[in-house]
Amino acid sequence: MPERTESESRKLLRRLRDVLSVPGEGQDRLDRITHLIADSMGTEVCSIYLFRDPETLELCATEGLKKEAVHQTRMKLGEGLVGRVARFGQPVNTADAPSEKGFRYMPETGEELFSSFLGVPIQRVGEKLGVLVVQSRTARQFNEDEIYALDVVAMVLAEMTELGAFTSDQGGMRALHKQPVMFRATSGQEGAAEGRVWLHEPRVVVTNPVADDPLTEIDRIKAAVGELRVSIDDLLEAQQLDKDQKQVLEAYRMFAHSRGWLRRMEEDIMRGLSAEAAVEKEQSAARARMEQVPDQYLRERLQDLDDLSNRLLRILTGQGKDTGAEMPDNPVLVARNIGPAELLEYGRKLKGVVLEEGSVGSHAAIVARALAIPLVINAQRLVAEALNGDHILVDGDQGIVHLRPEETVARAFRDKIAMQAEAQKRYASLRNLPATTTCGTTISLHMNAGLMADLPSLDGSGADGVGLFRTELQFLIRSKMPQRAELARLYARVMDAAKGKRVAFRTLDIGSDKVLPYMKPPEEPNPAMGWRAVRVGLDKPGVLRMQVQALIRAAAGRPLTIMFPLITEHSEFQAARAHVLRELHREKSLGHPVPDRIEIGAMMETPSLAFAPKSFFELTDFISVGGNDLKQFFFAADRENELVRRRYDTLNLSFLAFLEQIIARCAETGTPLSFCGEDAGRPIEALALAAIGFRSLSMRPASVGPVKALLRRINLAAARAVIDRARQDGAESARPLLMDWLATQETA
């Protein structure tokens, strides 16, 4: 690379820094910058387009186009050459822009006079902010050094945008982290919360994107990379690392020792960037590549590089995870993702959790449900937009997040929370009353749990017992397999806390999106239908045997209820049940006390089990319908897929008819039956389930009150007649007629 180009690039950045250092309105700065860049690059035009919303770009400053077009010319993402740059995050370089595919003619700008076009994205670590464009009348292809120079300038503009250098009341861009923003995402756990943002990993802020002394900056980057390499080597030498953990760290070490990575950052520094800005430039490039790579393995490797860049930035800036900021009194945790152990460390002090990633069945979702706090997942771009302390509203019912809401929105949201609180007071008055309908039928309502912290809710909710205790959380939050004695002590404390009420312990349900950190998951094209739940237990009998032993010892002579997940055929239940019987015999032969009564049941989560032979229904002590998975497999609709998961209604008459078949088969053999899952805790769904014959429902603790309140004022025979009428009318779902009928009951 010629020395002249290096010095010209640094000179341009210094001039840019000088312009930015002069006090002034954001629009004035943008205008001076476009003039400076056009002059430095020898082009007639320089324009800056910025996003006004995620789908719309606006011309915010220009040198060479018609001034009256500023703040008037707008285009959609992907529209025209500018929109193409914005969509794909890649430069567009052409000597004949008007003949280029996708060119959009904008007469208000006068740009048809200009032939050459070079546009580069203004982006910061994957956050797209706009597009920087230069144009000239002469038909010419911009060379590699010119593209690089404009790219570096765009990088600095992105950093200064983050720092608020271009905000203005007179036409500049809107202030970042100041405006109200609403995120439509996915509900992970129902509930509503108002609070202040607490970032799990505060964003690193680069305040010095331009540097005067490149040699000093290169020394800094080399020293920081050296420190990073030592820290990774130290971690690799640490004891008790499993194979998967070592593989991740080996990938980190490979990138940290990459000569190409360090060389590119050194070249960025020689062009005029500071060490921190050079790291972010390479990180932004990795993020842009990540979005375009379809191969999951390569995406994970680019993710490793992204994470490594964050570690390097924290070394360079000294901005660790602990910034010294105090957690607010009503924190709402905001993160890209978070592990179950980390979430448990925060505990019940959190008002809510919002994640950019995650799934409705992820570890974080399981813990959030156990902690009874609202959770919203897939809130894309929230981490980049939010700051610690920002006002935030979390609507877990609708999967909506309001960041820095307007007062009218906040007031309406508070009204919703107040109404929910008032309803909870009404439900509390029913706590000690049975869920007996007006026709005299009593429905047994149980709660789902997964942590010791859940058990105080047993008395407060008015539940009759624990219909599902998820035992996998104790496995998921550890870095190694828990010991039998440790599990036995925990299970004993659960039984103690239940005070004699029935607790159904579901054996280890892992696989799909619940992966143990110390067990390498198999590569499966469809994990939800793969090696999971009881299939893992039967293939790894040592784990199943250890857990059954812990449960028997925890019972210490008390009644014990064990439930196996995802039983799909009779032989699986026979094999799992045999494990329990063998361990009972073994414990008794060792002189240990055994349960005075034991129930061994199965979760029906696939349609196949509904067609099992009669001998299965005679052998099992009880059946619990796992509604979440059963509905997923019945409708062939992945509950992790937003495109289809809400498409199918639980009150679909075909699904209700299938459930009635299960009820009839259990009635034939006298097998106790319950329904467990999210739908059991929704009052309308619970009413329909009771109307078709379910007499036991299991749900999250907060749902017991609302369900009980509705059931106590309803005649099930009348509700069943409404469902039958929907069938006679040829309806697809019973919901519309049920809702209309309930409205008449309200006014009666």
**Residue corresponding to tokens 């979005």:** 291
The residues facing 599 across adjacent strands are 561
**Residue corresponding to tokens 């770009």:** 57
Distance CA(696)–CA(502), nearest Å, equals 13
* Contact (Cβ atoms closer than 8 angstroms) between residue 77 and residue 89: no
Amino acid at 423: A
Is 439 part of the annotated catalytic residue set? no
| Structure token digits, residue 387 | 């700051």
Distance CA(664)–CA(338), nearest Å, equals 43
* Contact (Cβ atoms closer than 8 angstroms) between residue 647 and residue 596: no
Burial class (CB in 10 A: 0-12, 13-18, 19+), 730: exposed
Whole-number Cα distances in Å, 474 to 522, 534, 626: 21, 17, 21
Whole-number Cα distances in Å, 113 to 30, 109, 227, 606, 700: 23, 10, 53, 66, 66
Catalytic residue among 46, 60, 666, 676: 676
Q: Which of 699, 739, 718 is nearest to 372 (CA)?
A: 699
The residues facing 335 across adjacent strands are 355
Catalytic residue among 46, 363, 446, 579: 363
The upper half-sphere exposure of residue 289, i.e. CA atoms within 13 Å in the direction of its Cβ, equals 16
Amino acid at 385: E
Burial class (CB in 10 A: 0-12, 13-18, 19+), 82: buried
Distance CA(7)–CA(270), nearest Å, equals 8
Q: Which of 66, 44, 70 is nearest to 58 (CA)?
A: 70
Largest CA distance in the chain: 95
| DSSP notation for 311-357 | HHHHHHH---S--SPPPPSSEEEEES---HHHHHHHGGG-SEEEESS
Is 363 part of the annotated catalytic residue set? yes
Integer-rounded Cα Rg, in Å, for the chain is 31
Q: What are phi and psi of 517, to 5 degrees?
A: -65, -20
Catalytic residues: 363, 676
